[in-house]
Amino acid sequence: MVKHYQHTQIGYLLIIALTIVPLFFAYRMIVHGFSWIEFSVIVLIGGFLVLFATMTVVIEEDVLRIRFGPGSAPKEFFLERR
């Protein structure tokens, strides 16, 4: 198939927001001691950061493909010609 268009959008605001929150919880863990809840929040938000920091759109001859991050949960839409 011939690629007609491909673009990757980087979510800079999302990256900033999802970096500040774990840093806050890491600071709390340094000051107040280790907490499994805060550690879990850091890991969970880090996973969201990896999965949703970028979005790639590819338009091929008859298919529109959208995927977030490193290929997680791709979605395809079939295009009809007029």
- The residues spanned by each domain of the chain are 3-78
Tell me how far apart the alpha carbons of residues 23 and 75 are, in angstroms, rounded to a whole number: 32
DSSP designation for 80: -
User: What are the tens digits of pLDDT across the range 19-54?
Assistant: 999 999 999 999 999 999 999 999 999 999 988 999
Tell me how far apart the alpha carbons of residues 41 and 49 are, in angstroms, rounded to a whole number: 12
Question: Hunting for tokens 């980087």 — which residue is that?
Answer: 10
- Tell if the pTM clears 0.85, that is, is over it: no
Tell me how far apart the alpha carbons of residues 77 and 82 are, in angstroms, rounded to a whole number: 16
Q: Which of 27-31, 53-57, 76-80 has the lowest mean pLDDT?
A: 76-80
Calculate what percentage of the chain has a pLDDT beyond 70: 95
Average pLDDT, the chain: 89
pLDDT at 57 over 70: yes
